[in-house]
Amino acid sequence: MKKGTRGEARIHVSASPEKLYDMVSDVTRIPEWSPECVSCRWIGGAAGPTVGARFKGTNKRSFIRWSTKPKVVAADPGREFAFVTVTRGPSTKWAYRFEPGPDGGTDVVESFEMMDDDSALLRFMERRFMGIDDRKADLEAGMQKTLERVKAVAEGRAS
């Protein structure tokens, strides 16, 4: 993907923006929602979602594993939680926005923005070893699945 590529997913949840922010900004819970993330933990003395805090996230797709050390760039309770991956490869900004609805529920929007161009090697690895032909569409589908899982837990329907 090219620098500036964006994607998003959206869902309506019968829960307050504050509750949803608390769930999503607890990065140790990301593996509960994400189809790729298998572990997350705060690092560098960070203990929660504050701007500048860092965490380590480990992802897995097929037999490929990789880790990133994102940095929190927005931590506005009930409104937005965002972080930027910090890697040797392309960086990506991930964000969750919480928009109160008229019914007392919340529209949750998860988005990404490519901060750098993907390398040809990364695109090859995604296609050849991870089975991904269209990474943007793949990420959008993954975000939708993530939001559906957040909704199920927030509404008390998770198994």
Question: Which CATH number belongs to the domain containing residue 76 in this structure?
Answer: 3.30.530.20
Residues spanned by the domain of 96: 6-154
Mean pLDDT of each 10-residue bin along the chain, 159 residues long = 88 96 97 94 96 95 86 97 81 95 93 81 66 80 96 86
Structural domain count, the chain: 1
In a domain, 1, yes or no: no
pTM of the model: 0.89
At residue 86, the pLDDT reads: 73
- Do the domain assignments include residue 32? yes
Element counts in the chain: helices (H) and strands (E): 4, 8
Domain annotation covers residue 94: yes
pLDDT value at residue 95: 98
Q: Is residue 10 part of a domain?
A: yes
In a domain, 39, yes or no: yes
Chain-centroid distance of CA 51 in Å reads 16
The whole-number pLDDT of residue 121 equals 63
Contacts of 137 (CB under 8 A, 6+ apart): none
pLDDT of residue 63: 82
* Residues in Cβ contact with 128 at an 8 Å cutoff, skipping those fewer than 6 apart: none
**What was the pLDDT predicted at 26?**
97
